[in-house]
Amino acid sequence: SAVISQKPSRDICQRGTSLTIQCQVDSQVTMMFWYRQQPGQSLTLIATANQGSEATYESGFVIDKFPISRPNLTFSTLTVSNMSPEDSSIYLCSVYRTVNTEAFFGQGTRLTVV
Amino acid sequence: DAKTTQPTSMDCAEGRAANLPCNHSTISGNEYVYWYRQIHSQGPQYIIHGLKNNETNEMASLIITEDRKSSTLILPHATLRDTAVYYCIVMTTDSWGKLQFGAGTQVVVTP
């Protein structure tokens, strides 16, 4: 399995501000993903974090709102920009290992926007 | 991607087997069936996956019908710690790692 560390684990932020979430993996992985889980809902894929190139966003998510960096094969960040209360969610990082065809998740960042 | 249909909720008695059904009638030949679960306030946990053969690991068994249009996840001896939301997901080889979560099945294991 892969060990995934997300920081912060939770935060309370003021509307209009931005928060950057970090995802650190204990080994190199090709594929990293970011998901959002709104209160009482299932997970929704935000984007694929590509190393060395711009992230690939799913329908309904845009780079200006959720900029993503992937400077190397073990690290990625997701920024939630210009936050509103509707952004209150759990944000999760996921990595996929081709060797055993499994995807692993971090424990998530619980964000509350007030 | 193929979509899946799961019951909204299930109750199971502790110590008994839990059989979780999943329909994926539009699954295509290059799509795998994956099962994850999410215990409250935690990240999803991988359980098992398969293509067409039945699979078993230390956590569960996966039974896939011959036509691949449905599958069943079996937890052989449910414990209270198995209470979680269980997600059945199909994943294509064209999009490894990209999981499209449905609503899942809320499983409650009772003493």
Render pLDDT for A60-94 as a digit per residue (tens, 0 to 9).
999 999 999 999 999 999 999 999 999 999 999 99
Name the residue type at position A1: S
pLDDT, residue B1, reads 53
SS (H, E, C) A45-91: EEEEECCCCCCEECCCCCCCCCCEEEEECCEEEEEECCCCHHHCEEE
Residues 6+ apart with CB under 8 A from A77: A20, A21, A22, A23, A68, A69
With vertex at residue B52, the alpha carbon angle to CA B51 and CA B53, rounded to the nearest 5 degrees, is 110
Q: Is A101 on the interface with B (CB under 8 A)?
A: yes
CB-CB under 8 Å, A103 with B46 = yes
B100 vs A45, A48, A105: nearest CB: A45
Cis (ω within 30 of 0) for the bond into A8?
yes
The span from the CA of A83 to the CA of B49, in Å, is 37
Measured between CA atoms, the residue of chain A closest to residue B43 is A107
Between B32, B34, B46, which is nearest A104 by CB?
B46
Residues 6 or more apart whose CB falls under 8 angstroms from that of B66 comprise: none
Beta-bridged to residue B55, according to DSSP, are B62
Percent of chain A with pLDDT over 90: 83
pLDDT tens digits for B43-100? 999 999 999 999 999 999 999 999 999 999 999 999 999 999 999 999 887 778 899 9
Instruction: pLDDT band for A100, please (50, 70, 90 cuts).
Output: confident
Distance CA A62, CA A78 (A): 12
Q: Residue A98 — pLDDT band, cuts 50, 70, 90?
A: confident
